């Protein structure tokens, strides 16, 4: 194994360690006696697509089928779409809408199934560090949630930042028919008048093995460690989650 390959894997390992450290330190400093831990095993089965319509504009499509107890019970259904605009070859802005349906799950379930409507603005920037590909994603969300049994809708704001790293296992870049490693960390921060004690909303730390099927499609099979602080500020979900993801990006501008 040459020096460049060893150096790239060292970079990815340092990133992974940093992501795990952020995940462990992401929650606010509450006394341990105040915290209630809710441990769950979930499965998220997901499709993502960014489809180019011409040299600048594109369409984002996304579907996530989230299950409690890995697959047996419902957790969430998420449908998200958006309009993409390429600011530069390495920077893309998205304006979009998402619908989320959340079901009761865990030791502290919601009173019933409830919907959420969401508008979001997003900036994605890509770069690289040696053989490691990096993606920075900044997202603002405006959320309208109507809890089960409530007569009114609650409006919430949230900011998210994700850093994702990918590393080819063979050669300098990820080519069709080749595996790769992927990892990311994403932190969620709530703000605005209706945020209660959960300014820290959640943190997600992820590691996966990926496979690039062809120029348009890739698959990832990974593990997600999700920490969620409920609105009351005392219940912390620790969700051990299997993630199966399909990325399928069509280029209609070439047709």
Q: Tell me: domain 3-29+36-254, CATH 2.160.10, correct?
A: no
Q: Residue 242: its pLDDT value, please?
A: 98
The model's pTM: 0.87
Residue matched to tokens 């605009």: 85
Dihedral angle computed from the Cα positions of residues 34, 37, 38 and 44, in that order, rounded to the nearest 10 degrees:
120
Tokens describing residue 47: 């499709």
Mean pLDDT of the chain: 90
Please report which confidence band the pLDDT of residue 196 belongs to, taking 50, 70 and 90 as the band edges.
confident
Q: Residue 124: its pLDDT value, please?
A: 98
Kindly provide the residue ranges of all beta strands, DSSP E only, lying in the chain, ordered along the sequence.
Answer: 36-52, 57-68, 73-88, 91-102, 114-129, 132-145, 154-168, 178-191, 200-212, 217-229, 235-248
**pLDDT of 39-59, one tens digit each?**
999 999 999 999 999 999 999
Contact 40, 106 (CB under 8 A): yes
Cβ neighbours of residue 93 closer than 8 Å, sequence gap 6 or more: 84, 85, 87, 121, 122, 123
**pLDDT of 129-148, one tens digit each?**
999 999 999 999 999 999 88
């Amino acid at each position: 194994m040459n020096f460049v390959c060893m150096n790239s894997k060292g970079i990815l390992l340092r990133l992974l360690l940093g992501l795990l450290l952020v995940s462990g330190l992401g929650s606010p400093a509450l006394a341990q006696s105040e915290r209630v831990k809710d441990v769950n095993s979930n499965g998220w089965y997901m499709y993502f697509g960014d489809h180019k319509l011409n040299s600048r504009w594109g369409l984002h499509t996304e579907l996530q089928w989230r299950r409690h107890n890995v697959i047996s019970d419902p957790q969430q259904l998420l449908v998200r779409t958006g309009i993409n605009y390429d600011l530069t070859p390495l920077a893309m802005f998205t304006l979009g809408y998402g619908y989320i349906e959340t079901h009761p799950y865990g030791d502290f379930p919601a009173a019933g199934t409830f919907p959420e409507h969401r508008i979001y603005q997003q900036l994605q920037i890509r770069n690289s560090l040696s053989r490691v590909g990096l993606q920075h994603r900044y997202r603002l969300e405006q959320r309208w949630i109507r809890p089960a049994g409530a007569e009114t809708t609650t409006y919430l704001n949230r900011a998210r930042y994700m850093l994702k790293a990918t590393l080819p296992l063979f050669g300098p870049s990820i080519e069709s028919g080749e595996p790769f490693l992927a990892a990311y960390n994403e932190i969620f921060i709530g703000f605005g008048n209706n945020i209660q004690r959960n300014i820290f909303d959640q943190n997600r730390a992820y590691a996966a093995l990926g496979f690039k099927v062809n120029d348009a499609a890739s698959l990832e099979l990974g593990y997600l460690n999700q920490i969620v602080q409920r609105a009351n500020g005392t219940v912390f979900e620790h969700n051990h989650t299997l993630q199966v993801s399909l990325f399928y990006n069509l280029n209609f501008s070439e047709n």
